Structure 1
Amino acid sequence: MRSKLIAVAIAAGLGVTSFTVAAAPAQHKTHKSQATAQNNAVVNSEVELLKAQLAQLQAKVDSLEQRTDAQSDINVSTGQAVEKATSVTAASDKQLAKLEKLVNDTSISGKMYFDFSNISQKNSDTGKTNASGTGVDVKRFYFSVNHQFDDIWSANLTTDFNYVSNDGETNLFVKKAYVQAKFNQAAVFRVGSADMPWIPFVENYYGFRYVEPTITDRNHFANSADWGLHLGGDIGASKSLNYAVSVVNGNGYKNPSRSKNVDVEGRVGFVPFEGMVVAVGGYTGDRGQEMQNVSAVHTAQRGDVLVAYSSKAFRLGGEYFTAKNWNNVLSPLTDKADGYSFWGSVNVADNISLFARYDNAKLSKDQDRSAKDTYYNAGVQYQVNKGFQLALVYKHEKGDKSVNTPIPPHVQNVKTDEVGIFGQVAF
């Protein structure tokens, strides 16, 4: 279109020139024919020159149009490419934002208990047992993934691995798997396999779980986790009261099967000042043993008391439990058990602390009054770093249990001494 306008303008100019020549006054025709011929020649020459210039100009205009059209195509392609790149970048940014949120809202943690020790175990009747020897044990390795959906809802999965060298046991299983709703500090609700109210609470004040489980745990009078509904929290601005209650299957976290009825465990704690706690707890149920076609004869019951103090300088505490028919749910016989545990530790230098513990439990007060367990340990712990502790430990256990053969009944005495390096790694 632009070339046509330019051509019309030039043609109009040529027409004006011709018109001017044709309209010259008549008296100029009287000039000599030679002058007229010369003028015509000049005009013709100028016309030819203008035509040539017009042709050159037309060629330049055509070339310019081609370049303009080509540039327009490039601009269109460039615009489409930029638009596409912008769209891809926006999508990538959205995916990156989702990935960043997932990473920020998900945490991974782990904890490992291990030891390298020598065990000497003697049976009063048969001598040394196969539990004796030197070896490495990885008693626990917890791996946890926690995801926070929002300010209230989250989920947790914790696997548990353990290996014990003296019996070749290797297991990998789920310890905790729950969905949590934290409405506020006083109301934290969990569905699934989660911490029970008592054992983890005591472990928090004890502080040396990697050396030895607490008394109810090591004597199998409680579960540290179970499948069910769990509610707990801290009450008051100073958190002077705390509570926890669990309605569970009763078989423990290794056995999620259901029973005819559910079991209940609860705890209430009073914190008079920071670091100090006085807590009571209890358990009642059939421990998951009553099925649709299997009737429970007795209800298993347990009561707990804890008085403890924990600070950076030292720890001091005591735990007592009493149980009724814990191992006699399906038996017509009745039985009772109880026990107590005292522990303490003190920091004697930077990253170095001394600790000791003493347990005494009567495992069967009605059916086997000779069934007792006495345990104590002592050691020194070195804090390698925030998540790594090593301890040189000596342990002693004396277990007595009455047996019916040979007659008359006599006491079977098993003594165990262990010395070694125990460690905990947490991240």
Structure 2
Amino acid sequence: MITALRPVTRTVTYTRWLHLVMAAVLAMVFAFVVPGLGNVNSPAGAWLLVVPLPFLAAAAMVPGVRLSEGMQAQLLLFPAGENTPEPDFTPARSASWADRRRTAVWLIVRYEAGVVTAFLSVHVPALVINLIGSASGSDAVRTPLWTPGPGHWSYALLGLLVPVLFLAFVVFAGEALARAARALLGPSAAQRLAALEERTERLLEHNRLARELHDSVGHALTVAVLQAGAARAAGSPEFTDKALAAIEETGRHALEDLDRVLKILREDASGTAAGRPALTDVERLLTAARGSGTEVAAEVSGALEALPGPVSREGYRIAQEALTNVVRHAGPVRVSLRIAVRADVLELDIRNPLPGPAGSAVRGGGSGLRGIRERAALLGGHAETGVHEGAWRVRVVLPLGV
């Protein structure tokens, strides 16, 4: 019994009722302007459901109408403080012809439901009075719904039942209109898919930035620690000056990367590629590695400037991670770095002697090697890591058609 009476005590029942009845204002205007439409007792009154429709469709072509309707729906169909599902749309102006078409459908649905609700809201009370009056033997007043004759006492029970049925209709119509608002005033299926794809791309970008920051800061810290240790062991003021200069330069580049990544994350956007190091800056990596005592023999063939931006930037990070692994796990050994730009692929080949058993190099790779393989796979390429001809090799091939 309490559950059945709950709609009577809920604010949302009456706000949705108001939202429905407000749509009938246009019908009142046409009823006054067009002769005959206001007579709901005649067939001409049925045209009131049809005549305004072209005007509603024309109004839907105005972008601001969708914004206005969305704000009304959010305020009255989903009032704050009620135990109703939140609307999954944000009021906005029409941005496309598809939005305008869906707005036109919404206006027509709201108008038709509103006219019927307003009609019943006006004439149901008169019907109830007639039914109760007929049960007591009084003469009934003619109404568009039904004009009962002198009736039985059961008319009084029917008079009590009609308001209950009308309330049920209002609740049902309000819920149906709320569902229509979500479907017609909210984003379309294509827009929802685009928003989901955008969110996915943003999350992927954040993951990429986190991996990039790990590579950059990890490289800087590795170089700084090894430089400091080598300077202390060497006991040479000249070597110490060089080590401090290398630490300063590496740390400065890492801070630049950190500032750029944090700025992008604060803006919550994909960000721009400007400022990100690329293979044309590979000399920076070589200087840092050589400063830690590692002897690097570099061979570059082809035009690095002609590489596509994504390939060049990811190629830099791959080379950075490979050299960092060498410095961290193999120590000051001789490293060969070969960068070859061909017609359709970029090839990176980094080799260094094994510091001990082959397995130690493999175990030392950790997440760095996994990150190299992931970067290569994202660009449609592949990475090979492992022992090759008595040395540890990282070989990456990236296609240029990205």
With structure 2 as the length reference, what TM-score do the two structures score? 0.28
Q: Counting helix residues as a fraction of each chain, which structure ranks higher?
A: 2
* Bigger radius of gyration: 1
Q: TM-score, length-normalised on structure 1?
A: 0.27
Specify which structure has the higher proportion of strand. Answer: 1
